[in-house]
């Protein structure tokens, strides 16, 4: 694995923290107006998309695999803007938007994990994250009438779990990066 891939660990950590904060908000304030949750979702996904695009561009500049990260970032920005522009959309439309986002994002995480495994042996966290994200999206489509309050709680729990997984991956990349830097011979 090239040492430079570890430089982006902080971007994953920032995305993880954003997801954790959003998850806590949804879990602690489930009775809030749905439009507020949609707006918070839009902001979080928009920022996460921007961070993904930055990470992908930085990886591409170093000739590392980046297309799944950039595509996910573009999808995140599109879904985030849609949520911000149309917050009053019906709950069912929002449900299907969030479901589609989860399935697409999960598939792109799986693709990114496959690419990352070529450079970072034994990587399973991002793969697990992608599979669970796709399952989450499918379950929301299959159970649309479970209640919007349940959906908000489910989204909060998922977002919290997603954030923890991203933080785990970020700190693994960080420690791997530091270990590789320490093992490099000193320049004279």
Q: What is the DSSP string of 116-166?
A: HHTTSTT--HHHHHHHHHHHHHHHHHH-GGG-HHHHHHHHHHHHHHHHHHH
- Mean of pLDDT over the chain: 82
Assess if residue 25 is contained within a domain. yes
- Reduced to 3 states (helix: H, G, I; strand: E, B; else coil), residue 18 is helix
Domain extent at residue 169: 3-183
Assess if residue 188 is contained within a domain. no
The pLDDT value recorded for residue 49 is: 92
Assess if residue 85 is contained within a domain. yes
Q: Answer whether residue 181 shows pLDDT above 80.
A: no
The pLDDT value recorded for residue 93 is: 73
User: For residue 93, which of 106, 79, 77, 103 has the smallest C-alpha distance?
Assistant: 79
17 Cβ contact partners less than 8 Å away, ≥ 6 residues apart: 163, 167
The pLDDT value recorded for residue 139 is: 84
What is d(CA 51, CA 59) in angstroms, rounded to the nearest whole number? 12
Q: Answer whether residue 146 shows pLDDT above 70.
A: no
What is d(CA 67, CA 184) in angstroms, rounded to the nearest whole number? 28
Q: What is the mean pLDDT of the segment spanning 88-97? A: 70
CA distances from residue 65 to 14, 155, 186 in whole angstroms, order as listed: 21, 30, 28
Q: What's the total number of domains in the chain?
A: 1
**Which is more confidently placed, 7 or 125?**
125
The pLDDT value recorded for residue 2 is: 47
Give buried/exposed letters for 37-63 (b at 16+ CB in 10 A, else e).
bbebbbebbbbbbebbbbbbebbeeee
Global pTM?
A: 0.53
pLDDT-based confidence at 88, cuts 50/70/90? low
pLDDT-based confidence at 20, cuts 50/70/90? very high
The pLDDT value recorded for residue 4 is: 55
The pLDDT value recorded for residue 101 is: 87
Q: Answer whether residue 7 shows pLDDT above 80.
A: no
Most trustworthy range by pLDDT among 47-51, 126-130, 140-144, 153-157: 47-51
């Amino acid at each position: 694995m090239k040492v430079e891939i570890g430089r982006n660990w902080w971007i994953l950590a920032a995305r993880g923290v954003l997801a954790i904060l959003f998850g806590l908000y949804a879990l602690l304030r489930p009775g809030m107006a749905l439009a507020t949750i949609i707006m918070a979702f839009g902001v979080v996904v928009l920022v996460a998309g921007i961070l993904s695009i930055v990470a992908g561009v930085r990886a591409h500049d170093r000739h590392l695999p980046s297309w799944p990260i950039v595509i996910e970032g573009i999808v995140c920005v599109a879904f985030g803007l849609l949520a911000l522009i149309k917050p009053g959309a019906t709950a069912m439309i929002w449900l299907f938007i969030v479901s589609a986002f989860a399935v697409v994002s999960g598939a792109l995480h799986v693709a990114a994990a496959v690419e990352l495994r070529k450079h970072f042996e034994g990587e399973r966290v991002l793969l697990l994250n992608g599979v669970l994200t796709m399952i989450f999206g499918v379950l929301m489509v299959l159970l649309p009438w479970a209640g919007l309050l349940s959906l908000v709680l489910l989204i909060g729990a998922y977002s919290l779990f997603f954030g923890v997984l991203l933080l785990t991956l970020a700190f693994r990349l960080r420690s791997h990066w530091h270990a590789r830097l320490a093992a490099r011979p000193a320049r004279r």
